[in-house]
Structure 1
């Protein structure tokens, strides 16, 4: 397993707690500490070396990974976070592991929720999840999420171990630093409790939506989802709206679910024959008691083939060999009109509309055919909201959607029983 260790008190405490646990267990996975140097502070290199010295003193393997290349002028925090995830996931893969542990605490949870509440809440008030699946392959786990930061500092002090305080944690130019300085003890207790309640509510809503998705939603043709209007009518209203939000985001390939109020307005018209609307890059069309959902044809990408990339938020691409001469672009309306759509349980016009937005291989402006399982490239459907990051809150509906669209099997949560051969 990988422990992400910056040199701060939280991550150092995590590292030593893991080392103690594995030493007592006398069996289990090996432990590798990984420090990411973002190259943003001159002191970071020495801090990484300091972590290395501590690891050496405790018999723990250690690697330093550096975020190379130019840094963006805007959105630096988000870019650094994505770079850190990529580097840590890559380290896990190189170590033949699917598990990265981080030192997030109850204090981090409270700060995160305080910031999200300022922005209006929504599904995000569930806070930081105990685990997140990254890129469909590596679990990022937060075992200290219920532990206070002060308790971890006390643990280190008892061992005579110092830690590094990142100056950005005190810099009031950053929102988290301002929130951290404003929260009192009662605030932290209140906010962490609120996050737990919201997480349970989000999981419950996901389970109800998953039941509806697995029981009623179907893939009528490539890129064309449908479900009977009667299934939505008979379901509890909240579950029906949540289900429709999920299916719209999946069909549209968007990373976020559409607005709840706009989705509710569409649901109110879902029984009207011939009704048609667009939301979250998806078209909704009502025909003969069914609600069909597919990707609209605007703003579809044309991308050079690259192994592992996600096309349009809907397909993960696997490329065999270097094929710089090929691009992945939409099949197109003209090609879709000529496609054979017989023996499909859906209106031919809708099938062709969905096909037009499906990926195809192109070379020098000429379509070579729809991209599917083949010698050059293979595609696997993904659910846009969870294509990169799948919070454990949403595991049940994500699995239901994967079953409908033919997505990859989602690995089990990294709790007891995970990877039995490593226990």
Structure 2
């Protein structure tokens, strides 16, 4: 239902009251100059004014430099912020534009630039102006692509690169209500012309969605999010109880657990496959169900999502299959190797041998110390798993595994969430981090639950 003129404006206390700000000295608000983000800025400033010791507010505008007027729009935001006593900075996307997938590239650049700006401001919190209308449009787009887990829509918070939370306090607020906030403050806003360009899928859906359709999509999103959280909780409990790392790169799962409640077992298997194979997407649902049936039937061997899965008497084992393992230069900046490890050079310089720079590549077949093999881990599988682990190479010579080397920082990561971790998935992400020895994700910035009040 559209917000009518006599209805009260959105309440900042309701929008931001459950946001955990204690211990945070600064919060970044992403402000493009559009109506949604400008309203976010005004509402959050009003909320901070109610606090006894509020964090500093920094507005950051990303200038994608895709339209001639983008610089002027950023300057308009800067003037508004100066008039309201808000710190502001503009960051520009200066990288070379791709020949295709421009919108996706711009979105990735925006996230990276905002995360960088948050780091410079000394915070891990970036607020964005996504609305209930955006949520309805997103769910409609995902429904057109087959639905699935994506029907939960936009998460109320997403952890970016393991270090910065992108938080969306306005997901329960309609766009028309935010326009009324701007009108009440006498603030003009800019409408991006691409929002009305039928060349873009979101613009077409925005024009097509009427009020009943928006309400239906928002209901779908709430129900799907609740179902996703519930399934994640049960899958995380299964992983904690039934899975173990029994050798470097080798996971063991109790077959009885995978033969249990079908939906939970299949989801847990999809998660384990993604981590073992270093994939950023979960394995195909239909193929995982078929694999689960094979595992329940008895001993077997299969590959899926770059993972080798072996059912033996001792258990179900998962490891990285021996193909497509990358070789990448070792530098001071961290790189995610094979979707399974974040690796960087610790020392300022690792001297080259004969002019050859150091690289990270798979270890290959080497003897595995007995102390590295846990109880019930078949030696042959432990050797195969170890062969796919990262090692330091230089001049065509393997210098040994990266694990434990003083010169190299090597930290496991959980494949599906290396770059983006939706708050929906915090439970299984933490369970898988415990399993592989990765750092556990930080708690959600929403106090007591993972989403703001609707």
User: What secondary structure does 1:390 align onto?
Assistant: strand
SS at 1:31 equivalent: strand
Number of the residue aligned with 2:207: 181
Q: Deviations over 1:49-79 (max 9, x none)?
A: 0000000000000010011121101111111
2 CA distance for matches of 1:359 and 1:210? 27
Alignment check: 8 A CA contact 1:206 1:397 kept? yes
CA distance in 2, matches of 1:31, 1:130: 20
Q: 2: distance between equivalents of 1:399 and 1:277?
A: 27
**Residues 1:102 and 2:102 are matched in the alignment:** no
Residue of structure 1 aligned with 2:104, choices 78, 84, 103: 78
Question: Residue 398 of structure 1 corresponds to which residue in structure 2?
Answer: 429
Counterpart of 2:287 (choices 241, 262, 266) is 262
Counterpart pick for 1:243 among 254, 268, 271: 268
Q: Which runs of 5+ in 1 are unaligned?
A: 419-423
Question: 1:421 corresponds to which residue?
Answer: none
| Residues 368 and 382, structure 2, Cα contact 8 Å, conserved in 1 | no
State the aligned residue count. Answer: 414
Give the structure 2 partner of residue 284 of structure 1: 309
1:273, distance to aligned residue in structure 2 (A): 4.9
For the pair 1:370 / 2:401, whether they are aligned, the reply is: yes
Distance in 1 (CA, whole Å) between partners of 2:431 and 2:54 is: 32
Give, in whole Å, the separation in 1 of the partners of 2:404 and 2:422.
Answer: 29
Structure-2 residue corresponding to 1:326: 358
SS of corresponding position for 2:311: strand
Distance 2:54 2:310 in 1: 53
Shift of 1:272: 4.9
Structure 2 gaps of 5+ residues are 1-26, 450-454
Q: Is the 8 A contact 2:159 2:166 kept in 1?
A: yes
Q: What pairs up with 1:139-288 in 2 under 5 angstroms?
A: 139-233=165-259, 235-288=260-313
Larger mean CA deviation between 256-265 and 99-108 belongs to 256-265
> Contact 2:342/2:412 (CA < 8 Å) preserved in 1?
yes
Given the alignment of the two structures, is residue 63 of structure 1 paired with residue 92 of structure 2, yes or no?
A: no
Is the Cα–Cα contact under 8 Å of residues 272 and 286 in structure 1 kept in the other structure? no
SS of residue matched to 2:165: strand
Question: 1-side partners of 2:150 and 2:448: how far apart?
Answer: 29
Alignment pair present for 1:314 and 2:314: no
Alignment match, 1:22 = 48
- CA deviations over 1:14-47 (Å, ceiling 9, x no partner): 0011111111113121110000011111111010
User: Does the 8 A contact of 1:209 with 1:397 survive in 2?
Assistant: yes
CA RMSD of aligned residues (A): 1.4
* Aligned equivalents of 2:30, 2:239: Cα separation in 1: 36
**Residues 118-137 of structure 1, C-alpha deviation per residue, up to 9 Å, x if partnerless?**
01011111100000000111
The answer (yes or no) to whether the contact 1:330–1:359 under 8 Å persists in 2 is yes
Structure 1 residues 411, 327: CA separation in 2 closer, same or farther (over 3 Å shift)? same
Moved over 2 A (4+): 271-274, 321-324, 338-345
Residue 340 of structure 1: aligned partner: 369
Task: Give the secondary structure class of the aligned counterpart of 2:310.
Answer: strand
Which digits, 9 at most, give the CA deviation of each residue in 1:141-189, with x for residues without a partner? Answer: 0000000000000110111110001010011111111111111111111
For residue 322 of structure 2, the aligned residue among 275, 297, 316 is: 297
Contact 1:273/1:289 (8 A) holds in 2 = no
Tell me the CA shift for residue 341 of structure 1.
Answer: 3.7
